[in-house]
Structure 1
Amino acid sequence: MDQRVGLFVLLAVGLLCLTLAPVSRAEDLVEDSLGDDMDVEDELDLGMAGDEDEELEGDMQDEAPSAPKTPPVPKVTYKAPEPVGEHYIAESFDRGTLDGWVVSSAKKEGADEDIAKYDGKWSVEEMKDSKLPGDKGLVLKSRAKHHAISAQLLRPFPFDSKPLIIQYEVNFQSGIDCGGAYVKLLTQTPELDLDQFVDKTPYTIMFGPDKCGEDYKLHFIFRHKNPKTGEFEEKHAKKPDADLRTYFTDKKTHLYTLVVNPDNTFEVLVDQTVVNSGSLLTDMTPPVNPPSEIEDPDDQKPEDWDERPKIQDPAAAKPEDWDEDAPAQVPDEDAVKPDGWLDDELEYTGDPDAVKPEDWDEDMDGEWEAPQVPNPACETAPGCGAWKRPMIDNPNYKGKWKSPMIDNPNYQGVWKPRKIPNPAFFEDLQPFKMTPFSAVGLELWSMTSEIFFDNFFITDDRNTAERWATDGWGLKKAAEGAAEPGLATQMLNAAEERPWLWVVYVLTVALPLVLIIVFCCTGKRSSGSAQGQLSLTSLQEDLKEAVHPNRSAPSGLKKSPATPAAEYKKTDEAQPDVKEGEEEEEEEEEEKAEEAKKSSTG
C-alpha cells in the first residue's frame, strides 16, 4: 500500500512539474535575457555590506535567528539601442519626437466622407505599464480611424546578393478587437509622396500581425512583377502552423522578424523563434510562376457528349405480379382487442370541477366549454374509444418499379476543355529580386487604440539584426520578466485563462495530500501491535543464537520456524495473542526436554 501511494505521489509531482514548466519558463528567460550590455541595479549598497555584516554578527549572537529575506527583484535600467553594422533604418523613438516620420494627410478613396481622412493620431511616449522608464515608442492613439505614417530609409534596399531582414516590436496594450499592426515596405517610385501615403500606395512587402474576430494572422505578402505584362500580383505566404493567439492577448511586447534570403527561402520569427518558413517558389499563393498550360477558354463540350457512367436497362420490363398500388402498411389481422377496452368512453372528457369565468361573454367569447382532462374511467382500462387494429408492414409491398441500372456503353467520361499553351506563361527563378523599396510605413485601421510600436530595424546582416534585438527587445523582455508575479500568482492567472488547469491542480496537489493523510492517520492498532510483537520475538531469538552459537537443540527436537511478520494478515476477526502462543510453545519444549532427559537417565 505504501509503495503504491509513493508511486502515485511521484507521478503527481511529475505531472505538476510538467504543468508548471511553461509557467516557470518565463522566470528562467529573465536570467538568459540579461546580457553583458544590460545595466542592472540590485538596489543593494555593496560598499556598506561589509560593515553591516560585522554589526549583524554581534546582534545575531544575542537574538534569535530571523527568517531570511527575499532579495529585491533586480531593476533593469534602460539604455537606448545603438545600431552596429550596416542598416537601412534604425528607429527607437527615444528622442521623444516624430522627427523623420511623415503623417499622411490624404483621404482614402471609396470610403465614407466622415472616415475617409487619415486623421488617426500618433504619439511618441512610454508604454502605459512601462517596466523600462525612458523607453519610448510610437503609439497609435485613435480607434475607428485610418492611420498612416511613414519614414524614408537611409538608402533604398536593392535586393541583390544579401538577405533582407526587417524586425520591429508590437505591444497590444489594450488588447485588440479588430485591426492590424503590420508594416509596408514602400516601393521606390518617382511618384512616392509620403504625405499622400494611402492604402493604394505601391508596396513591395507587407509584413506583421493582423486580427479580426477570432482570426489571428501574421502576414507576409510580396508584390511580384510579371516580367511579360509588367503587372503586379500579391503573393501570400502560407499560414503559420503555430498558435498566434497569445501574441495578441498577453499584452506583452513581441518582436516580429522577417528574413528573405537570396536563395528564395524565407523565415518568419516571433520573439526570435521561427513560426513560419518556406520557399518563395513553392509556398506562396497564388504561385509565383503560372502553369505552362491552361484550359482553352474557347473549347466547348459537344452536345452529344455522354457523361453518365450508369443508365437504366432499356431491356428490363416490370414483372406482371408487381403491384405498385399496394400500401406500405396494412392492419394487423391477427390483433385482438384487449379485454376491458372501453369503447363507449372518451379518452378525454370535460373537467367536472371547472367553472365558467364570471367575465365570460358568450356573445364575444362564444359558448363556454369546460377544459378537457384525462378520463378517470380510462386510468385502469387498457384503452378507451373506438378500437382500431394496429398497422404492420405490408409483406406484399414493393413500391414503384424502376428498371435496374447498368453500365453506360456510350460513357465518355467527364468532359474537360483541352489544354493549350499558356500565353501568359513565364518562369521567374529568382523571385527574391523584388522591386527595391525606399520607405517603411504603417497604414492601418483599428478598432482598438494604444498599439505600441518600437525599434524598427532593416538590415542585410543577421548578426547586426540580432545585436539590435538584444539591445532593444531583449532588454524590454528582461524587464517584463523581472516584474512577473510569483509562481502561485502565475498558476492562478493561468487557471483563469484555462479553467481546466484547476482539475490538474486538484489531481496533482490536493488528491495526493488527502491520500497521504488517510494512509498515515488510519489503520488498526491491534495489527500493528501484533506485528511489533512478532518482530520483537524474532529479535530475541536472534540474540540468543548470537550469544550461544554452539548450543544445539536437544536431540529429537526441531526448532519451530517463526511466523514471518509479512504473513500476518489483517482481518476483522479477533487475532490470537502471539506472545501467549510463544510462551506456550516454550513450555511444551521444556516439558519435552525434561521427559527426554528422564528417559535417557532411566
Structure 2
Amino acid sequence: MEGKWLLCMLLVLGTALVQAHDGHDDDVIDIEDDLDDVIEEVEDSKSKPDASSPPSPKVTYKAPVPTGEVYFADSFDRGTLSGWILSRAKKDDTDDEIAKYDGKWEVDEMKESKLPGDKGLVLMSRAKHHAISTKLNKPFIFDTKPLIVQYEVNFQNGIECGGAYVKLLSKTPELNLDQFHDKTPYTIMFGPDKCGEDYKLHFIFRHKNPKTGVYEEKHAKRPDADLKTYFTDKKTHLYTLILNPDNSFEILVDQSVVNSGNLLHDMTPPVNPSREIEDPEDRKPEDWDERPKIPDPDAVKPDDWDEDAPAKIPDEEATKPEGWLDDEPEYVPDPDAERPEDWDEDMDGEWEAPQIANPKCESAPGCGVWQRPMIDNPNYKGRWKPPMIDNPNYQKRSRKVMLKKMVTLSVKRRTTGSLKQRRMKF
C-alpha cells in the first residue's frame, strides 16, 4: 500500500522541514551543528576585542538550506504566518467557554536568543487550545524511502500541562484545515507532551485493521531516557523521528537515540496479531471448579474455642500514675468567653461558654476518671473457621481454545500533510 501524509502541528516554535531520503545519514541537515558554528562565531566576535583591529562584523542568523527531496520547510525568517492556517474549530463535549481553538500565535525571536534574526513560531496565550497547520509541497508516499520528521522545541516559559507535538494528517475528502481539531484523523503523531510530573515523548500511528476495517492507534513504548530535563531546562532541544521502509523506527533527542524498535512488533497493541487467539465461542463448563482450596468438611470446632472472647482486654498490671487528678475534667468552660451581644436565647438557646483544655491538667499526668489501658487478649481466637485443604475437584482456570491465526501487515497509508513548531526537520 502507498502512504501519503499531511503534516499538521499542535504546538511549535521555529524552523520546519519535511524530507524523504534514500540514505538519511548523508542527506539529513545537521541544524544543531550549523547553529553551534554560528554561535561560536558570535561568541568569538565578543571575546577579547583587539583595540587595534577594526570592529567585527555583526553576525546574524541564517536559516539552514534544505537539501535532497524536501516536502516542507519553514524557517519563519519572514516574520509572518503566511501559508499557515489557524484553526477555528471547537472541541466536542467541552464547555463553550473553553472549547474554542482561540490560542494566539506569533512569529518572534526567543526571549534569550543568542542569534539575532533566529525566529520561531511562538504560543502567546496560556490555558488555551492551540492548533495551526499548513500543507506539504506534495503528498508523501511511504514506499522505498525513509521519512524523517525533525523539529526544535524550547519551553522558554516552562510548561505545566500541554504538548508540543506535530501530526501528519490523513488524506480525507472532508479535510478542512481551518476546522483542524483533536479528533481530525491523523496518520502519525510525534513530539513531547507533559502534564504534572508525567513527561512523555509520543510516537503514535493509526493503522487500519485489514479484517475489521477499524482504525487503531499504535503507541510506541516509553523511552528509556529521563525526559524531565528537556521540559525544565528552558533550552532548545531537537526532536527527530525516523521511519524506515523495513518498518524500523528511531526516536532521537539532540541527535541521541532515546527509543527504537519495529513498527510491527514493538507497538502497543502490536500491528501483527498474536498467532493464536482465544475462541470467542467457547464457554466454561457448568461443573468447572476454579477453587484450589476448600474448607475441610471434616473439621470440627474445638470445645474450648471461645468465639465471644474480646480482641482487647484491660491491662490488669497497669497502675494509676501518681498525681492523677480524678476530680478534674479534661475540658472546662473558657472563663474569658463572653456571650455575643446579638445572642437570642429564644432563637439560639441557652448560651454556654466554649470548652478549653483544663489548665490544671497541664502539669498533671492526666485528669478525669482513670481507666486501665487495653492490651491484646492472649486468649482471643475470633470466629472459628474450618481449615482449608486442597480441592480434589480443582481444575485450572478455564482456558479457551486457541485458534491458529497468522497475519502479516505492512505500515503504509495514503495521507497528505500539515505542520508546526520551532526548528523542525522531517
TM-score after normalising by structure 2? 0.72
The question of whether the paired residues in 2 share the 8 Å contact of 1:348 and 1:374 is answered with no
Q: Secondary structure at 2:231's aligned position in 1?
A: helix
The question of whether the paired residues in 2 share the 8 Å contact of 1:118 and 1:146 is answered with yes
Task: Give the structure 1 partner of residue 137 of structure 2.
Answer: 154
Q: Deviations over 1:348-395 (max 9, x none)?
A: 3589xx99889899x9569xxxx97879xxx99xxx999x99999877
Q: Secondary structure at 1:208's aligned position in 2?
A: strand
Q: 1:247 corresponds to which letter in structure 2?
A: Y
Unaligned runs of 5+ residues in structure 1 are 1-28, 53-71, 443-452, 459-602
The question of whether the paired residues in 2 share the 8 Å contact of 1:89 and 1:456 is answered with no
Rounded Cα–Cα distance in structure 2 between residues aligned with 1:317 and 1:127: 81
Task: Give the structure 2 partner of residue 33 of structure 1.
Answer: 36
The verdict on how the C-alpha distance between 1:275 and 1:73 changes in structure 2, with shifts beyond 3 A counting, is farther
The question of whether the paired residues in 2 share the 8 Å contact of 1:152 and 1:440 is answered with yes
| Percent of residue pairs identical | 62
The verdict on how the C-alpha distance between 1:316 and 1:161 changes in structure 2, with shifts beyond 3 A counting, is same
Task: Give the structure 2 partner of residue 348 of structure 1.
Answer: 327
Q: 1:457 corresponds to which letter in structure 2?
A: K
Shift of residue 336, structure 1, vs aligned partner: 12
Task: Give the structure 2 partner of residue 108 of structure 1.
Answer: 91
Task: Give the structure 2 partner of residue 120 of structure 1.
Answer: 103
Q: Secondary structure at 1:157's aligned position in 2?
A: coil
The verdict on how the C-alpha distance between 1:416 and 1:73 changes in structure 2, with shifts beyond 3 A counting, is farther
The question of whether the paired residues in 1 share the 8 Å contact of 2:39 and 2:115 is answered with no
Task: Give the structure 1 partner of residue 16 of structure 2.
Answer: none
The verdict on how the C-alpha distance between 1:36 and 1:86 changes in structure 2, with shifts beyond 3 A counting, is farther
Of 363, 386, 392, the residue aligned with 1:409 is 392
Of 396, 407, 414, the residue aligned with 1:426 is 407
Task: Give the structure 1 partner of residue 417 of structure 2.
Answer: 439
The verdict on how the C-alpha distance between 1:410 and 1:251 changes in structure 2, with shifts beyond 3 A counting, is same
Shift of residue 398, structure 1, vs aligned partner: 5.5
Task: Give the structure 1 partner of residue 194 of structure 2.
Answer: 211
Does residue 195 of the first structure (1) align with residue 178 of the second (2)?
yes
Shift of residue 331, structure 1, vs aligned partner: 8.6
Rounded Cα–Cα distance in structure 1 between residues aligned with 2:338 and 2:176: 83
Rounded Cα–Cα distance in structure 2 between residues aligned with 1:394 and 1:331: 9
Task: Give the structure 1 partner of residue 45 of structure 2.
Answer: 42
For 1:158-557, what aligned pairs fall within 5 Å after superposition?
A: 158-320=141-303, 322=305, 324=307, 347-349=326-328, 364=350, 400-420=383-403, 426-428=407-409, 430-431=410-411, 434-442=412-420, 453-458=421-426
Q: 2:194 corresponds to which letter in structure 1?
A: K
Higher relative contact order (CA 8 A, sep 6+): 2
Bigger proportion of residues as helix: 1
The verdict on how the C-alpha distance between 1:170 and 1:32 changes in structure 2, with shifts beyond 3 A counting, is closer
Rounded Cα–Cα distance in structure 1 between residues aligned with 2:58 and 2:372: 90
Q: 1:179 corresponds to which letter in structure 2?
A: G
Rounded Cα–Cα distance in structure 2 between residues aligned with 1:45 and 1:150: 46
Q: 2:262 corresponds to which letter in structure 1?
A: S
Task: Give the structure 2 partner of residue 6 of structure 1.
Answer: none
Shift of residue 184, structure 1, vs aligned partner: 0.8
Aligned residues: 380
Shift of residue 98, structure 1, vs aligned partner: 2.5
Rounded Cα–Cα distance in structure 2 between residues aligned with 1:176 and 1:87: 32
Q: 1:348 corresponds to which letter in structure 2?
A: D
Q: 2:197 corresponds to which letter in structure 1?
A: E
The verdict on how the C-alpha distance between 1:40 and 1:419 changes in structure 2, with shifts beyond 3 A counting, is same
Q: Deviations over 1:123-169 (max 9, x none)?
A: 22222322211122222223333322222222211111111111111
The verdict on how the C-alpha distance between 1:348 and 1:156 changes in structure 2, with shifts beyond 3 A counting, is same
Rounded Cα–Cα distance in structure 2 between residues aligned with 1:358 and 1:245: 55
The question of whether the paired residues in 1 share the 8 Å contact of 2:34 and 2:64 is answered with no
The verdict on how the C-alpha distance between 1:203 and 1:397 changes in structure 2, with shifts beyond 3 A counting, is closer
The question of whether the paired residues in 2 share the 8 Å contact of 1:281 and 1:289 is answered with yes
For 1:68-87, what aligned pairs fall within 5 Å after superposition?
A: 77-87=60-70
Rounded Cα–Cα distance in structure 2 between residues aligned with 1:230 and 1:149: 30
Q: 1:277 corresponds to which letter in structure 2?
A: S
The verdict on how the C-alpha distance between 1:161 and 1:316 changes in structure 2, with shifts beyond 3 A counting, is same
The verdict on how the C-alpha distance between 1:332 and 1:130 changes in structure 2, with shifts beyond 3 A counting, is closer
The question of whether the paired residues in 2 share the 8 Å contact of 1:105 and 1:196 is answered with yes
The question of whether the paired residues in 2 share the 8 Å contact of 1:225 and 1:233 is answered with yes
Rounded Cα–Cα distance in structure 1 between residues aligned with 2:59 and 2:49: 16
Shift of residue 256, structure 1, vs aligned partner: 1.1
The verdict on how the C-alpha distance between 1:385 and 1:184 changes in structure 2, with shifts beyond 3 A counting, is closer
Q: 1:290 corresponds to which letter in structure 2?
A: P
For 1:576-587, what aligned pairs fall within 5 Å after superposition?
A: none
Q: Secondary structure at 1:42's aligned position in 2?
A: helix
Rounded Cα–Cα distance in structure 2 between residues aligned with 1:327 and 1:129: 72
Task: Give the structure 1 partner of residue 9 of structure 2.
Answer: none
TM-score after normalising by structure 1? 0.53
Q: Deviations over 1:75-126 (max 9, x none)?
A: 7532222112222112111122223322233343333333433333222222
Q: Secondary structure at 1:77's aligned position in 2?
A: coil
Rounded Cα–Cα distance in structure 1 between residues aligned with 2:400 and 2:95: 44
The question of whether the paired residues in 1 share the 8 Å contact of 2:240 and 2:255 is answered with yes
Task: Give the structure 2 partner of residue 464 of structure 1.
Answer: none
Task: Give the structure 1 partner of residue 5 of structure 2.
Answer: none
Rounded Cα–Cα distance in structure 1 between residues aligned with 2:329 and 2:379: 44
Q: Secondary structure at 2:418's aligned position in 1?
A: strand
Task: Give the structure 2 partner of residue 600 of structure 1.
Answer: none
**Aligned-residue CA RMSD (Å):** 4.6
The question of whether the paired residues in 1 share the 8 Å contact of 2:265 and 2:272 is answered with no
Q: Secondary structure at 1:154's aligned position in 2?
A: coil
The verdict on how the C-alpha distance between 1:319 and 1:455 changes in structure 2, with shifts beyond 3 A counting, is closer
Does residue 144 of the first structure (1) align with residue 140 of the second (2)?
no
The question of whether the paired residues in 2 share the 8 Å contact of 1:350 and 1:373 is answered with no
